[in-house]
Amino acid sequence: MNIYVANLGYGTSESQVRDAFAAYGEVTSVKLIIDQVSGRAKGFGFVEMPNTSEAETAIEELNNSKLDSQVIVVNEARPKPANSGFGSNRGGGGYSRSNDRRY
């Protein structure tokens, strides 16, 4: 099960998140999201746990708990919609020779 973790401290490490979730079962991966421009953590990430019942217990126990001095939000991750509407239409007004009128 893929788990969404929000409100992480900017200094929170993947190992801290892994340790918190490992108390409830096997953790296969931890991914903290980093801003590509600044290189800073965005304050959220994802944890993958293969056992659904262990993941559900981790969600129940860790949601609204403290990790690295922050009260974190933990939910089951939902898939990103295929077409969110924002930025999906990349077309636009390009240069057209038919508009190039000379007088």
Given a contact cutoff of 8 angstroms between Cβ atoms, the answer to whether 70 and 9 are in contact is yes
> What are 47-96's pLDDT values in tens digits?
999 999 999 999 999 999 999 999 999 999 998 777 655 555 555 555 55
Mean pLDDT of all residues belonging to the chain: 88
Full set of structural domains in the chain with CATH: 2-76 (3.30.70.330)
Element (H, E) at 32: strand 29-34
The pTM assigned to this predicted structure is 0.76
User: Pick from 19, 11, 20: which is nearest to 42 by CA?
Assistant: 11
